[in-house]
Chain A
Amino acid sequence: MAKPKKSRNSAPDPSVAARLPWQPSAPPLATALLISFAALLLRALVSVGPYSGQGAAPKFGDYEAQRHWMELTLHLPSSDWYRNTSDNDLAHWGLDYPPLSAYQSRLHAHLINASLPDAVALRSSRGFESQESKLLMRWTVLSSDLILFFPAALWFVWAYMKDGVGGSGERREGWTWLLAMVLLNPCLVLIDHGHFQYNCISLGLTLGAIAGILSRNELVAAALFSLAINHKQMSMYFAPAFFGHLLGKCLKRKYPIVEIMKLGFVVLGTFALVWWPYLHSYEAAMQVISRLAPFERGIYEDYVANFWCTTSVLIKWKRLYAIKPLKLMSLSATILAFLPSFIQQVKSPSNLGFLYSLLNSSFSFYLFSYQVHEKSILLPLLPASLLALHEPHLHGWFTYYALFSMYPLICRDQLLLQYISVLGLFVLIYYSPGGNYGKGMKISSGTMAVLSLPLLCSILLHTVYLQIEPPKRYPFLFDALIMFICFSQFIILTLYTNYKQWMLDFHPRPVGSKKDL
């Protein structure tokens, strides 16, 4: 590492007179801590804003759901958490995440109970809202973020730089920007600390698993990923990537069966540990599983930029088919969509290919799976931010449209100010003077011209959505337009990333021939 320049005694180098704070060769640990603090500040500031369903009696929103789960898990025995009882009315925000979410709710409930028992009192605290409880609840998310997501991000960047994902070392000096891109994920900040959810836990565990794979601790990675699945079943979107990559790696080893069995033991052991209270009977386990996969809600809900919802403008899926054939269709479409990246990883696993395959498999689930929420765009967004150094344009483009696809949700939650501010900060950091956005693929001017059209439309739609009333015949016209634009961009993106992953096999990255001094 170059020695830090001591410019105190000599005149500052005129060519670097306008260095921004992170540009000098500052010690890496301090810089990483500073970036983490800045990310924490951003989260704390967004937390000041409103949460989902604030003041919206009687149903409220995700905030009330999380508070209700804390109330349930604190006072009821674990056998009652997923069952409809007199104390647990499943119609009012019943638990629909796997047991690890429930354990996490219980832990947070203990903390809140210690300071403000009224907020989590059984039955009487329904719809409880106060400044103190908001502060405490926000702190549970902030602390979960700090404990899980931040260390995972730091580990990931460290592992990424150590092994030089992609072979050559030409990306080495971009690590501060990469860390900022991972930690400053606008959608994650707005959803977790604005709307109020705990995606940071499952994404943090997944990120830890990814970092584990990059640093060749596969058993740890398998355990962490199993925990992630047990926190939110949507983490299964990444399962094909993990499975394909690990399978490919195992097959290349001396005793593949032993390796696979080791991984299998770790995964099964983790699952057994988490599901322990429900393993005593088949009914108990099925009770939980039926809550996790509510097929009766239909193939799509509201307006989400995935295949089924977008094409439903032309082909009315819900009217043409019953639930069972639709389930089958979405399953096969999803499998077909992630099959290419899966096969590529099984054939030739590599760290870079693994990151691409994460993006591809989560995208395929987002586009074709059953009952996808608009918040699930967070899942493909994570590997996109991890690939920020390799695909800076893709990352910026994708983040913008992911945010845009959540715009109606943001407006409903009155988080517009936070949206503008977080998007502004993201754009500033992305284009930070002396940053890395200029690298990567050069985009031709023709492509730029084509891409700028949906961009302009989206900017226009931002204001139109707020100010103009939609026509009476089509009250959701603008939501549909937003969905359509985002879907078109997502399709282009996923085709591109699938192509890139396949091309990895045919254009091996040039090995760095220069050595360290």
Chain B
Amino acid sequence: RPQRAQTTPHPVRPLQISNWTTAPMAATSSPSTAAAAMWAFAAAACVKLLLVPTYRSTDFDVHRYWLALTHALPARQWYTDASSEWTLDYPPFFAYFSRLLSLPAPFVDASLVDIPVPAAPPSSAYILYLRLTVAFSDLLLLASILLLARDARRRQRPFLALLLVLWSPALLIVDHIHFQYNGFLMGLLLLSLHFLEQGKDLAGGVVFAALLCSKHLFLVAAPVYFVYLFRHYCCGRGLARGLGRLVLMGAGVVAVFAMAFAPFVYYGQMQQLLSRLFPFGRGLFHAYWAPNFWVFYIVLDKILAFLLRRLGFSIEIPEASFTRGLVGDSSPFSVLPKVLSRLLSPFYPREEC
């Protein structure tokens, strides 16, 4: 293949047969990664705008309630208020985030910040405002992508991979149709990873702690972080320095947690908060099955129930069964014991984020 002498950076185009086309064309230099990423974000934003009138799940009502809750009531009542069934079950940083979002809300629609939440269906201004908050929070994701893209060339990371995070269909469906706020949380995660890539372990650890205080689902990544940070940040520098660093990292993480949980420790609400954050009463599974290991347990239970019923034993079909889509505190299992919540709590891969 003849080597093309390229004086200006020139992306290869389809059907280009030779390089005789450079003369009549204007200089179309290859776009910078930042410009391309922002372009991609703008295109995704147009699609998000089109998704405003689509289906909203109950998560929309959940976040609408939290917005009103954090605006109308003092922090003392955030984790104790039960005026709605959608109780606050995210850590305090997310509550602070909701508070932030609620600040412009009264100018859009005064009923947005009423407690208890009015039963009337939300007005279109309301829906548009909430949808736009999700789209705006995705700017944090864009920022993290831009930071990662700066390094993409050196780390041989194809730019397309980063673009696909901005255009991720799963993220679009869950965030902009179903209605959740995973975009900016992913942005925080990527930011933390960026810091780790740069070798700024302390910053990465602190950002991850902040992420944990926003959505405790990311606890699943905590063991990996702990092991990595311990090994990379603390070890291999001698005992004194290593211990010092461990203390420093610990202090950073504790500081972040303190910022989040201190008010609630002061109010003496930690027990209540933890029970809200980790509702083991709901059982091992959600109404909709996640494709994880415990499916085998469910299937085994169903098979046993079927066989034993055939053999003449009277086996009740429980109210909160897996195929009915209901959740409740009673055991959803027919035959096998309800898996003891406290024993197996670390393994609770509840699919509901």
Contact = CB atoms under 8 A, between A and B. Distances in A.
A104 interface: no
How big is chain B's contact interface, by range?
Answer: 35 or more
B49 A424 contact: yes
Interface in A10-31: 11-12, 14-21, 23-26, 28, 31
A313 B208 CA distance: 66
Interface stretch (A1-9, A90-98, A471-479): A1-9
A175 interface: yes
Contacts of A425: 43, 46-47
Contact of B1 (A3, A50, A417, A434): A3
B14 A21 contact: no
A395 to B, nearest CB: 16
Contacts of A3: 1
Contacts of B13: 23, 25, 173
A435 B12 CA distance: 12
A26 B53 CA distance: 35
Contact of B39 (A50, A175, A433): A433
B10 interface: yes
B11 A23 contact: yes
B266 to A, nearest CB: 45
Nearest to B13: A173
Contacts of A57: none
B104 interface: no
A512 to B, nearest CB: 9
A47 to B, nearest CB: 10
Interface string A504-517: 00000000001011
Contacts of B1: 3
B176 to A, nearest CB: 11
Nearest to A424: B46
Nearest to A31: B14
Given A1-B17, A17-B159, A49-B53, A428 B11 contact: no
Contacts of B50: 42, 45-46, 48-49, 417-418, 421
A12 B152 CA distance: 10
A227 B12 CA distance: 41
A19 B159 contact: yes
A326 interface: no
A428 B9 CA distance: 22
B36 A433 contact: yes
A390 to B, nearest CB: 12
A17 B24 CA distance: 25
Contacts of A49: 50, 53
B32 interface: yes
A19 B2 CA distance: 22
B165 to A, nearest CB: 14
B138 to A, nearest CB: 15
A80 B21 CA distance: 60
A432 interface: yes
A453 interface: no
B42 A424 contact: yes
B14 A514 contact: no
Given A12-B158, A173-B13, A517-B18, A17 B53 contact: no
B28 interface: yes
Contact of B31 (A2, A26, A41, A434): A434
A491 interface: no
B6 interface: yes
Nearest to B33: A18
A439 B24 CA distance: 8
Given A2-B16, A173-B16, A438 B26 contact: yes
Contacts of A428: 39, 42-43, 46
A161 to B, nearest CB: 7
B152 A17 contact: yes
Residue from B33, B36, B45 whose CB has the most chain A CB atoms within 10 Å? B36
A212 B134 CA distance: 47
B110 interface: no
Contacts of A316: none
B153 A45 contact: no
A129 interface: no
Nearest to A23: B11
A438 B10 CA distance: 14
A465 B197 CA distance: 51
A170 interface: yes
A144 interface: no
B235 to A, nearest CB: 32
A28 B15 contact: yes
Interface in A167-191: 170, 172-173, 175-176
A374 B295 CA distance: 58
Given A19-B11, A439-B26, A514-B18, A12 B153 contact: yes
B31 A18 contact: yes
A439 B25 contact: yes
Contact of A2 (B6, B17, B163): B17
A351 B28 CA distance: 28
Contacts of A48: 50-51, 53-54
Nearest to B131: A417
Nearest to B153: A17
Given A12-B156, A170-B21, A417-B50, A17 B33 contact: yes
A191 to B, nearest CB: 16
B347 interface: no
Contacts of B2: 517
Contacts of B15: 1, 28, 161, 172-173, 175
Given A3-B1, A417-B52, A421-B50, 18 more contacts: A1-B15, A5-B12, A15-B6, A15-B30, A17-B153, A48-B51, A50-B53, A172-B16, A173-B21, A421-B47, A425-B46, A428-B43, A432-B39, A433-B35, A434-B28, A436-B28, A514-B18, A517-B17
Interface of B: 1-2, 6, 9-18, 20-21, 24-28, 30-33, 35-36, 39-40, 42-43, 45-47, 49-54, 128, 149, 152-153, 156, 158-160, 163
Interface of A: 1-3, 5, 7, 11-12, 14-21, 23-26, 28, 31, 41-42, 45-46, 48-50, 161, 170, 172-173, 175-176, 417-418, 420-422, 424-425, 428-429, 432-436, 438-439, 514, 516-517
25 contacts: A1-B17, A11-B156, A15-B10, A17-B30, A18-B31, A19-B30, A20-B40, A23-B11, A25-B14, A42-B50, A49-B53, A173-B16, A175-B14, A417-B49, A417-B50, A417-B128, A421-B49, A424-B49, A425-B46, A428-B39, A428-B43, A433-B35, A434-B11, A435-B28, A517-B17
A-B pairs with lowest CB-CB distance, top 8? A433-B31, A15-B9, A438-B26, A173-B13, A45-B50, A421-B49, A18-B33, A514-B20
